[in-house]
Structure 1
Amino acid sequence: MATIPASFTPRTILVIKLRHHGDMLLTTPVINALRQRYPDASIDVLLYQETSPMLQAHPAIRHLHRIDRKWKKLGAWQQLKHELALVNAIRRSRYDLVINLADQWRSALITLISGAQERIGFAYNKRDNAFWRLCHNQLVAATSFNQLHTVEQNLLALSPLGIPTNHVPVSMHYAHQEWLATEQLLLQRGVNGPYVVIQPTSRWVFKCWDDEKMAALIDRLNQPDLKIVLTAAPDAKEMAMIEHILSLCRNPQVTTIAGQLSLTQLAALIDHARLFIGVDSAPMHMAAALQTPCVALFGPTKLQHWRPWGENNRVIWAGDYGPLPAPDSIDTQTERRYLSAIPVDDVVAAARSYLDA
């Protein structure tokens, strides 16, 4: 494949990533690096509708093209209409450069249909065929992915452009009114001073610590001038977990606003916190992006790929205390909690290292 000349200066750029909330946040270093290299370019992103709050306030992004996964429930004709409208919108944008960070056939086809002069993707082993090569005129080797953080994997896509990628931050943005709304909710809960945010929950139970240990941590952090604010998604299982943890707590400084915040309001909450404590989840990545001190509890997930990105955090890995199964062998629907081996004392010590600094 021909290399991209150094003189290439795109006016319009599309970045494609079709994954979960945390994945979307970890694309922001690519967006930030593109903005630095091409300050006058318009940068758009194609993503799933439900993940758009992660990027909707990013100042470098002009427009979000959204794929709603509910389209398929509308029937074949309605889904086709939405898909064609999306393709037409992308064609009308006349992109000079498309960077496909995804591995789906759908993302590759959209990359091709865009008509962009330069179309960058990854040379995945599972996509080693003529159609994938047709869709991209620049393919970047993915052979080093196992050794790289997800941020570093994404940034590799910029190598054909010769863009420097050292020390590019992950970033999370929200509107000021999101903080004002969150602040009012905190005041209603009696939180008018310093606070710690704890998100014990995940969409996958196997990523969670024991409720009893989480309650013990909350009790050990009891001090008169520090509130503990619990958060969670408005999912029935997550809300039940929060209620159970609260029932075990004796710390009078703990409160909950679980299930009551939008993702951008949660970002505002985390941004103003003294400390974030949580498990491997999107809010943990948000804390790292917002440079809020973060204590992250990990189990049998790929730590190299998903640890919080940045310097202001501490990872406590269950694998340091006992054997863990291989991440790819996990039944994600299991109720087993693989973080059980993590002792309360070590999490308390990590939290105190930030709170007492």
Structure 2
Amino acid sequence: MNHPQMFRDLERPRVLLVALSGIGNLLMASPLFRAFQDANSTAELDLLVASRGTKSVLEANPRVRRVFAGSPKPNIRALRKLTGILRRERYAVGIVTYPGQLILSAALLRLASIPRRIGHRYSWTFLRDSGLFFSDPVPEAPLPAFTIPASAAAHDVVQNLGLLQPLGITVDPGTARYEFPLTTDDRAHADAWLTQHDPGGHTLIGLHPGSYGDLAYKRWPAERFAELGDRLAERYHATVLVIGGPEERALKAEVGARMHARSVMVDAPLRVTAALIARCLCFVSNDSGLMHVAVAQSVPTFGLFGPTDERRTAPWGPNGHVIRAAGTQPTYDVQRLRNIRDRNAPDSSLLALSVEAVARAVSVTVQVPVPPREPH
């Protein structure tokens, strides 16, 4: 039986996607949602996501039936409860998105008695290029040689779309776009926030000086973000929104304190933050989840890359732009850290990136808004 026939034999097949990574990884998997439903309009799509705020990305996505959030402190009891819930859903197919926690996710699908289990082959301890617990292990797209601009042949979006091949579904990656739809309420909350914090209705520039957790090696220095903010505020006659999560409050405050131009620190829920980003003329960010959120809102987005690899995680689509210091290359891959001497400080490849280079890259792409003509 081929895979399309398997779906024709089921009236409303249920499929579970497992995405136990961060916000950016989830958005890089989101083109898979549309591709799958375009090929199987009657299928019901559920997701199991990490506990760290990713669930809200999916709240208004019409392609998703149900979202399960993993336990923040997983243990045997929580795992047993979750597998019981998933087993009762009687999923026809389970897909583990890239890069994910592959062996953990694959084992979970097996314990949930899901017959078709799709995911990339992986290495784990003594296992090399393993497909353990998967019924349909898929090889990773090989990473091409590093070039500038970088090839997208092994980007996470491409890796995720490749997971549909065992189901007989092929997709042109060039048509793929992130999905993070906003609601009327999201936009209304953003309007109310702006009325309170920027009543002048200025042009907005977004900056994200942070990155998830302890990944300080991915962060361009705060003082450079502040200088860049001043330059962009002057060029575009703008208010700068310094954006990030609640754990980045001190970093956001430092950037704002160092700036001379008008800046506002954003402390808001993720969906309101996304609606505020959607109002920005452009967005400059470290390689982070919020970088991908900005692209999902069709905002010209400039990702600052140093140790991480734009071949895998560049902001996807026509509004995504990569800025890298000349002569530098990525030193990080999904399996391990290489050549990163200090995880708690900006990597040397980011320190090589000047404010002038970033400001110039933005100014080449983003035009100064033309003020509306006064009525005669």
Quickly name the TM-score band, shorter chain normalised. 0.7 to 0.9
Measure how far apart 1:276 and its partner are.
0.9
| Counterpart selection for 1:100 from 75, 88, 96 | 96
Normalization by structure 2: what TM-score? 0.83
Q: Does 1:200 align with 2:209?
A: yes
Question: Given that residues 221 and 346 in structure 2 are in contact (C-alpha distance below 8 angstroms), is that contact kept between their aligned partners in structure 1?
Answer: no
Query: Could you tell me which amino acid in structure 2 is paired with residue 198 of structure 1?
Result: L
Once the two structures are superposed, residues 304-356 of structure 1 have per-residue CA deviations (whole angstroms, 9 ceiling, x without a partner) of 111111111221113x2x44672222256322443122122222122222133
Q: Does 1:152 align with 2:158?
A: yes
Q: Does 1:53 align with 2:56?
A: yes
3-state SS, counterpart of residue 222 of structure 1? helix
| Counterpart selection for 1:19 from 18, 21, 29 | 21
Q: Does 1:274 align with 2:284?
A: no
Question: Given that residues 275 and 355 in structure 1 are in contact (C-alpha distance below 8 angstroms), is that contact kept between their aligned partners in structure 2?
Answer: no
Alignment CA distance shift 1:336-1:200 (3 Å): closer
Measure how far apart 1:143 and its partner are.
5.7
Aligned to 1:172: 180
Alignment of 1:182-331 (within 5 A): 182-191=190-199, 192-203=201-212, 204-223=215-234, 225-235=237-247, 238-251=248-261, 253-257=262-266, 260-318=267-325, 320=326, 322-323=327-328, 326-327=331-332, 328-329=337-338, 330-331=340-341
3-state SS, counterpart of residue 273 of structure 1? coil
Query: Could you tell me which amino acid in structure 1 is paired with residue 168 of structure 2?
Result: G
Query: Could you tell me which amino acid in structure 2 is paired with residue 326 of structure 1?
Result: T
Aligned to 1:42: 44
Provide the C-alpha distance between the structure 2 equivalents of 1:63 and 1:127, rounded to a whole number of angstroms.
Answer: 33
Once the two structures are superposed, residues 33-88 of structure 1 have per-residue CA deviations (whole angstroms, 9 ceiling, x without a partner) of 1111111111001111222122232210000122112244xxxxxx51x3222112
Once the two structures are superposed, residues 117-139 of structure 1 have per-residue CA deviations (whole angstroms, 9 ceiling, x without a partner) of 42212222448979x75632212
Aligned to 2:87: 91
Q: Which runs of 5+ in 2 are unaligned?
A: 145-152, 370-376
3-state SS, counterpart of residue 115 of structure 1? coil
Alignment CA distance shift 1:331-1:57 (3 Å): farther
3-state SS, counterpart of residue 85 of structure 1? helix
3-state SS, counterpart of residue 49 of structure 1? coil
Identity %: 26
Question: Given that residues 21 and 54 in structure 1 are in contact (C-alpha distance below 8 angstroms), is that contact kept between their aligned partners in structure 2?
Answer: yes
3-state SS, counterpart of residue 34 of structure 1? helix
Question: Given that residues 216 and 346 in structure 2 are in contact (C-alpha distance below 8 angstroms), is that contact kept between their aligned partners in structure 1?
Answer: yes
Aligned length: 340
Query: Could you tell me which amino acid in structure 2 is paired with residue 209 of structure 1?
Result: W
Query: Could you tell me which amino acid in structure 1 is paired with residue 117 of structure 2?
Result: R
Measure how far apart 1:165 and its partner are.
1.6
Measure how far apart 1:103 and its partner are.
4.2
Once the two structures are superposed, residues 77-118 of structure 1 have per-residue CA deviations (whole angstroms, 9 ceiling, x without a partner) of xx51x3222112111111111112344333112211333342
Measure how far apart 1:220 and its partner are.
1.3
Question: Given that residues 145 and 153 in structure 1 are in contact (C-alpha distance below 8 angstroms), is that contact kept between their aligned partners in structure 2?
Answer: no
Q: Does 1:333 align with 2:319?
A: no
Provide the C-alpha distance between the structure 2 equivalents of 1:269 and 1:65, rounded to a whole number of angstroms.
Answer: 27
Question: Given that residues 120 and 131 in structure 2 are in contact (C-alpha distance below 8 angstroms), is that contact kept between their aligned partners in structure 1?
Answer: no
Aligned to 1:163: 169
Alignment CA distance shift 1:103-1:220 (3 Å): closer
Aligned to 1:76: none
Provide the C-alpha distance between the structure 2 equivalents of 1:184 and 1:344, rounded to a whole number of angstroms.
Answer: 33
Q: Which runs of 5+ in 1 are unaligned?
A: 73-78
Aligned to 1:75: none
Provide the C-alpha distance between the structure 2 equivalents of 1:157 and 1:247, rounded to a whole number of angstroms.
Answer: 46
Provide the C-alpha distance between the structure 1 equivalents of 2:320 and 2:344, rounded to a whole number of angstroms.
Answer: 28
Alignment CA distance shift 1:280-1:133 (3 Å): closer
Aligned to 2:374: none
Normalization by structure 1: what TM-score? 0.87
